[in-house]
Structures are given as C-alpha cells and as structure tokens.
Chain A
Amino acid sequence: KNQVEQSPQSLIILEGKNCTLQCNYTVSPFSNLRWYKQDTGRGPVSLTIMTFSENTKSNGRYTATLDADTKQSSLHITASQLSDSASYICVVSVGDGNNRLAFGKGNQVVVIP
C-alpha cells in the first residue's frame, strides 16, 4: 500500500531556531515528492518538488532533501519566523501513469517568540 508517514506529528520551536521535519514513504513506483505548507484556514501551497534524480532543493529558508534509495525526505527550516507556523505536508506522486498522490498527515509546526 502506498503510504506516507511524517514525524514529528507536532513541534514547538523558538523564533530564529532551525528545525527538520521527516517524511518516510513506501510509494512505488515513485514519480516525485512534494512538500506543501498549509496555513490555518488556507489550502496547501507548494514549497518544493523533487524528482527521482534530485536530492536537494531549496526555496528561501526551506530546504528539502530526498533519498530515493531509503525512501526518505526531510524539510529543513532555517532561522524560523513566526509566519512559519503551519502544517507541512509531504506528498508523494505514484509513477503508475495516473499520477495519484499519497499524502502524509502533516507536521504541525508552531513558532513562538
């Protein structure tokens, strides 16, 4: 079964600190992996998209890594800001021609001053 597991489920960090979110998946065949940020009361917004051959991609203070061999990804947030408080969702696209998406349940991040 195509599954995506994220950890930790939630975390609280001090403004200015770094944090790393983890995503493990069992999706096969693999097409691409996406990280989305979802602010409270809003829809998910794409942060990064990585294909099989990419092992790192940055978007400002967000850096995603991908290890396709171990089927793991991480999202690193550098110098966190209050506006980083959100849910971060890992999404893996199944490469079976239908491009179905397997969603993680999200990492809930709260940044406190």
Chain B
Amino acid sequence: DAGVIQSPRHEVTEMGQEVTLRCKPISGHDYLFWYRQTMMRGLELLIYFNNNVPIDDSGMPEDRFSAKMPNASFSTLKIQPSEPRDSAVYFCASSFNNLPYGYTFGSGTRLTVV
C-alpha cells in the first residue's frame, strides 16, 4: 500500500487566492482526518469524516475553510480566501474504525501564503 497520499507537497500562493489540498486515504480505511501543524500550536484536528460523512468540524478555524469527501478514496480541504496566517503544514490521516493501530498520516502539504 502506498499509504496516505497528499498533494501537492508544497504550495505557495498569494493572499486572497483559493487553495485546495488533496488527500487519498489508505484503501479500506473508513475514517479520514485533516490536521494543521504549526510551531506554536503543534498538531490540531480540523475535521474528520467517517464513511465519507463529516462528523466533527469544530476545529475548522472559520468559514474560509471547507472540506469535502465525495467518495471513500478522495478528500479535499479548501481555503478561500487564503491569508498569511493560514501558512502551516496540513496533514491528512486515515484509520480503520478509528483504531490506533494502523492510524496513518500522509507526508503533508506545506502551505505558504504570501
């Protein structure tokens, strides 16, 4: 298995532009999580899905952030409009039945908003 696949690996965009981050979870995993990591705050959960349905989006910072999971093999995190304070590394993770064993992170997308 190729693991959790995220794209792009790096994204540099100008303030005000729309940014879309993509994630392909491990096949067979029914939970998908989006995290944001910064030096100041560490890893923070933004939103998670179970069987493609958003379960908890309380970590989404504001309405500029949205996430979708149209099918079991694909999810997107969109920021519109982007702001410099959104600069961070965004991770996607997936797991089976939300169990700790096999809970796998992707390699992340480093987002820089200038």
Q: Say if the beta carbon of A53 comes within 8 Å of chain B.
A: no
Task: Evaluate contact between A32 and B100: CB separation under 8 angstroms.
Answer: yes
B56 in contact with A49 (CB, 8 Å): no
Hey, what's the 0/1 contact readout for A39-78 against B, CB within 8 Å counting as 1? Answer: 0011111100100000000000000000000000000000
Q: Looking at the complex, which one of B56, B100, B105 makes contact with A43 (CB distance below 8 Å)? A: B105
Interfacial residues of chain A within 30-44, with CB under 8 A of chain B in the complex: 32, 34, 41-44
Is there an interface contact between B42 and A43, defined as CB atoms closer than 8 Å?
A: no
Pick from B42, B45, B105, B110: contact of A45, CB under 8 Å: B105
Task: List residues of chain B with CB within 8 A of the CB of A105.
Answer: 41-42
B74 close to chain A: CB less than 8 A? no
| A13 adjacent to chain B (CB < 8 Å) | no
Minimum C-beta distance from A7 to chain B (A): 14
How far, in Å, is A8 (CB) from chain B's closest CB? 15
| Chain B residues, CB < 8 A from A49 | 100-101
Contacts of A101 in B (CB 8 A): 45
Q: How many residues of A contact B (CB 8 A)?
A: 19
23 CB-based A-B contacts, threshold 8 Å: A32-B100, A34-B103, A41-B108, A42-B107, A42-B108, A43-B4, A43-B91, A43-B93, A43-B106, A43-B108, A44-B43, A44-B105, A45-B105, A46-B103, A89-B43, A93-B100, A99-B98, A101-B45, A103-B42, A103-B43, A103-B44, A104-B42, A105-B42
The interface of chain B, by Cβ under 8 A from chain A, is: 4, 41-45, 56, 91, 93, 98, 100-101, 103, 105-108, 110
* A83 proximal to B (CB < 8 A): no
Closest to A101 in B: B45
B45: which A residues are within 8 A, CB to CB?
A: 100-101
**From residue B38, how far is it (CB to closest CB) to chain A in Å?**
10
B77 to chain A, nearest CB (A): 15
Specify which chain B residues have a CB less than 8 angstroms from the CB of A43 in the assembled complex.
4, 91, 93, 105-108
* Residues of the A chain whose Cβ atoms lie less than 8 Å from the Cβ of B103: 34, 46
Chain A neighbourhood of B98, CB < 8 A: 99
